[in-house]
A and B are shown apart, each in its own frame.
Chain A
Amino acid sequence: MTVDADKRFPAAGRITWRDIGASETGVAVVVLAIFALLPMVVSGYPIYILPQYMLFGMMAMSLGLMWGFVGILSFGQAGFFALGAYTMGLAMHTNWGINPAYVGLLLSLVVGGTLAAVVGYFLFSAGVRATYFVLVTLALSIMVEQVAVSQSEITGGWNGMFIDRMSLTFGPLGDVPLFDDAPAYYAVLPVVALSYVLLRWLVSARFGKILAGIRENEDRMTALGYNISVHKTRAFALSGAIACFAGALYGTHANFVAPSLGGVLFSTEVVVWVAIGGRHSLLGALLGGILVASLSNYLSTVTPEYWQLVLGLIFIAVIVFFKGGVAGAVAQLPRLWRTGRQP
């Protein structure tokens, strides 16, 4: 090559992968800053409940990864989430010389990742199409719920399981209990933010580019020598691990887990959050989880009879008018504005 690519295509150095990403980073920084400053102006119930919704948002991102970036819809994310909460609840009773909450968090990653890897490996290497994957993951949610009900000696059955609030321990540096709302808030927020940054990095790296290739054309990827079932399994394992980890934190924050947390109803809600937020954007999924869950909570107090109907109508409106969800619609705004200005 005689002419250097940099000189001929100055923009090529920066733009290597086009997605909503470029414009998303700025919004993400603002949103995270708002969340970081919120406890200084607000107190009480919102600061208590928001971390739980943030963890819902983290679970929503784990679905966004699969649905938006691999093109595979999973109805099993709440199953992983509940599994994480139960894992945390059980781990809290361990006495292995390290902070039992750390054991729970670590185990939740392992349990969620392993379960998703095993399920994913068998389904993807058998060439199961997206539709059947939905059904199997739906069954996975049901199984988690059923096991939680039936193994009542371990899980508490219908009564659920109480989980203590965790403490952060820093060895000789001391402990930080998370019993109060503000410390708990400031413990959960960075975890959620970090998972967002990690996922953003992953989807723009080789890992995510290959997933996008698989989403766009599986036959072509296979003929290029990519073992797509391996890549899909990796993505699903990561997705399961994240959902399970978020669930573990949720369990200790909410102090409680019941079988319905892993059920079909809640799994469906997660899909609704991501559809509304925008499945092609991790920030869309995250905010979809936080805001729609908040809205549900608010609506359920304002109009206990109709709130699910309102939510359903919003869902339908988004699906009909903006297939890419709110994030997809927002991402198109600058383009519309630009084309509008052209002579």
Chain B
Amino acid sequence: MTELLRTEGLAKRFAGLVANEDIDFRLEAGTIRCVIGPNGAGKTTFISMISGHLSPTEGRIFYKGRDVTPLSVVKRARVGIARKFQTPTVFDNLTAYQNVELAVLGTSCPSHKRRQRIFEVLDLIRLSELWDMPVQFLSHGQRQWLEVGLLIGVEAELLLLDEPTAGMTAEETGSTAKLVQRLARDYRLSVIIIEHDINFIRDLRAPVTVLHLGRVLREGSFDEVAADEQVREVYLGQDAG
């Protein structure tokens, strides 16, 4: 398998407060990785450094073998790294169609194929029936999906999803897991997911990286991680008892 993303000794400190420290992370192309950890473990900081929204205090980020550490958010988005924010960040006053259109306009998709492409994406995120609806009227879960759709529309190869199932019903959470699996399997996209929902992570059946106090505590399959004494102590203990 080919490596898509690698971080070496990645650290972020805010005036003495350690948010991330010495993170060596590796992600293969076309795979899913869950990043979990208790509140304040540095998950969002980690994703923000990969997306370029924060620059690391130390360490380097390699994407497809290229050092992307100095690149801005815009440039990282152009090389294929796209992020979904913790709260749905979409174009509220525009329709679902227009939202995805803005993503597709950022690609080399020729204008005569654009509409078909937009509906492909809308189909994938189950919003094609609601294409003409201003997205402020969509449910929270649908808006979360729409934002994932924007990342697909802009043809990102590495999707950074910050709590994609927050505020979703159990059923929506289940179909989100299927969507993410489908993106990795059928579209060869790589996905890093920050999540709190243990059921969602179990459904994904993807490798898990546990962060604790800004460091990588454990990495492995869900079952391995769930069985780990230390992990249970700092995190899972609260939920999985």
Contacts and interface: CB of A to CB of B under 8 A. Distances in A.
Interface of A: 1, 4-5, 8-9, 11-13, 15-18, 206, 209-210, 212-213, 216-217, 219-227
Given A209-B105, A213-B102, A217-B90, A222 B115 contact: no
Given A1-B119, A1-B123, A13-B115, A224 B103 contact: yes
Given A223-B51, A223-B82, A12 B77 contact: no
Contact of B90 (A11, A12, A18, A220): A220
B34 to A, nearest CB: 21
A9 B98 contact: no
Contacts of B92: 216-217
Contact of B97 (A1, A12, A224): A12
B129 to A, nearest CB: 9
B101 A16 contact: yes
A202 to B, nearest CB: 14
A90 B98 CA distance: 46
Contacts of B97: 12, 16
A223 B83 contact: yes
Most chain B CB atoms below 10 A, which of A1, A15, A223: A223
A224 B95 contact: no
Contact of A224 (B98, B106, B131): B106
Contacts of B77: 222-225
A62 B85 CA distance: 35
B18 to A, nearest CB: 26
A165 to B, nearest CB: 44
Contacts of B119: 1, 5, 9, 12
Contacts of B102: 209-210, 213, 221, 224
Contacts of A9: 119, 128, 131
Contacts of A225: 74-75, 77-78, 82, 106, 154
Interface residues of B, number: 33
A219 B90 CA distance: 9
Interface string B70-97: 0001110110001101000111111101
A208 B115 CA distance: 17
Interface string B102-130: 11011000000001100110010000100
A18 B98 contact: yes
A16 B116 CA distance: 12
23 contacts: A1-B116, A5-B119, A9-B119, A9-B131, A12-B119, A13-B115, A16-B97, A16-B98, A18-B95, A206-B105, A209-B98, A209-B101, A213-B102, A216-B93, A217-B89, A217-B92, A221-B102, A222-B77, A223-B82, A224-B82, A224-B150, A225-B82, A225-B154
Interface centre among B51, B102, B115, B132 (most CB of A within 10 A): B102
Given A216-B94, A217-B89, 18 more contacts: A1-B119, A4-B116, A12-B97, A12-B115, A12-B119, A16-B115, A18-B94, A210-B102, A216-B91, A216-B93, A217-B90, A223-B51, A223-B89, A224-B82, A224-B102, A224-B106, A224-B154, A225-B78
Nearest to A13: B115
B89 A5 contact: no
Contacts of B90: 217, 220
Contacts of A5: 115-116, 119
A319 to B, nearest CB: 20
Contacts of A209: 98, 101-102, 105
Contacts of B98: 16-18, 209, 212
Nearest to A11: B132
B235 to A, nearest CB: 29
Nearest to B103: A224
A227 B71 CA distance: 13
B131 A212 contact: no
Interface string B51-64: 10000000000000
Contacts of B74: 222, 225-227
Contacts of A227: 74
Contacts of A210: 102, 105
A209 B118 CA distance: 15
B47 to A, nearest CB: 12
Interface in B139-174: 150, 154
Given A15-B132, A217-B89, A217-B90, A226 B106 contact: yes
Nearest to A220: B89
Interface in B192-216: none
A223 B73 contact: yes
A200 B175 CA distance: 42
Contacts of B105: 206, 209-210
A8 to B, nearest CB: 8
Contacts of B78: 225
A219 B82 contact: no
Contacts of B116: 1, 4-5
Nearest to B88: A220
A12 B102 CA distance: 16
A36 to B, nearest CB: 33
B55 to A, nearest CB: 15
A204 to B, nearest CB: 12
